Amino acid sequence: MIVILKQNYPEARLSTLKDWLKTLNIDIQMNKGTACTVLGLIGDTTNVDEDMLRALDFVDNVQRVSEPFKKANRKFHPEDTVVEVGGAKFGGDNKTVLIAGPCSVESEEQICGIAESVKAAGAQMLRGGAFKPRTSPYDFQGLRAEGLELLLKAKRLTGLPIVTEIMDISQLDLFADVDLIQVGARNMQNFELLKVLGRGNKPVLLKRGLANTIRELLMSAEYIMSGGNSNVILCERGIRTFETVTRNTLDLSAIPAVKELSHLPIIVDPSHATGAARFVRTMTLAATAAGAHGLIIEVHNNPSAALCDGPQSITPPQFEEIAGQVRKLEAAL
């Protein structure tokens, strides 16, 4: 960490600062220039609060040389982390895991039917929303506890592990048999929820917030990991931009960027990112070529009747075709 001091800093207060940093086992190297004086902080600066330093009135600026995340940082864990979820392996050199299912669980018939279809078409995991974050309180909020039960029925029927979204700490008990707990984009910085999930060891699928950076995503992963749970899978699901043809903008460069900065697996959600079924095939192939460790795709047996997010769902036959192309592409690269 580099601390740039203002021109006329008070020697006495600087010396207090240095003493305090030494108590944190930080070595200090000082570089006095004509224009400015620079402190180089050497050691583990993870616990040094950047804002606190910046708050000092004789400090001009603070710049981290190393990233503020530690457990999620590839520098300290050069090997890829592989997260296993009921047989499916995310990360490392494992093949792209395909997760498929409807936006919302609507009925036993619906979720079981889709589960069987996507399994036959090559999916290794089932997705489906029980608790639904909706912008309007008047829109369908999901079947909630009942939806979770139906998902578990589909799991027992097909053997597919399931992933579904948690919206609040108070719902955690209901997730005992869920294989992968999803934290949605709107909750990426719900730090209290992240802390609680960090105390368990259940795998967590952490979605990137709509206007969050990759480093912020990794800091949120660090919240979970600092509690002891290192079973974290990241998910790129589109960010908010000025573009309107697609609902959000899928940031595929997040895949190589995350792989460079972190050892955690990263998957892609082309359905929410584009908001349009007709773009899902293309963006799935692009994500695969970009090296995604998995794909989470919305599939509905009757998209036009889906209670929510219908426009972004593809049908089981379309999913089967796409899955085939993903495998062909993986073989070629």
In the block, tokens 């053997």 appear at 159
Strands 37-42 and 2-5: antiparallel
Rank residues 60 and 116 by Cβ distance to a second copy and give the closer one.
60
Rank residues 158 and 182 by Cβ distance to a second copy and give the closer one.
182
Give the shortest CB-154-to-a second copy separation in angstroms: 22
Does an H or E element contain 317, and which?
A: helix 316-332
Structure letter (DSSP) for residue 34: S
* 254 neighbors 268 (Cβ within 8 angstroms): no
Distances (CA, A) of 3 to 36, 42, 59: 10, 11, 7
Angle, alpha carbons 88-327-276 (nearest 5°): 90
Rank residues 113 and 291 by Cβ distance to a second copy and give the closer one.
291
Give the shortest CB-112-to-a second copy separation in angstroms: 21
Rank residues 47 and 201 by Cβ distance to a second copy and give the closer one.
47
Distances (CA, A) of 147 to 21, 41, 56, 150: 52, 52, 52, 5
Give the shortest CB-159-to-a second copy separation in angstroms: 30
* 170 neighbors 184 (Cβ within 8 angstroms): no
Give the shortest CB-173-to-a second copy separation in angstroms: 13
Rank residues 43 and 113 by Cβ distance to a second copy and give the closer one.
43
Give the shortest CB-202-to-a second copy separation in angstroms: 18
Crossing angle (nearest 10°) for helices 316-332 and 277-289? 20
Give the shortest CB-113-to-a second copy separation in angstroms: 18
Rank residues 274 and 301 by Cβ distance to a second copy and give the closer one.
274
275 φ/ψ sector (left φ>0, alpha ψ -120 to 50, else beta): left
CA gap 160, 142 in Å, rounded: 21
Give the shortest CB-86-to-a second copy separation in angstroms: 27
Rank residues 159 and 191 by Cβ distance to a second copy and give the closer one.
191
**Helix, strand or coil for residue 7?**
coil
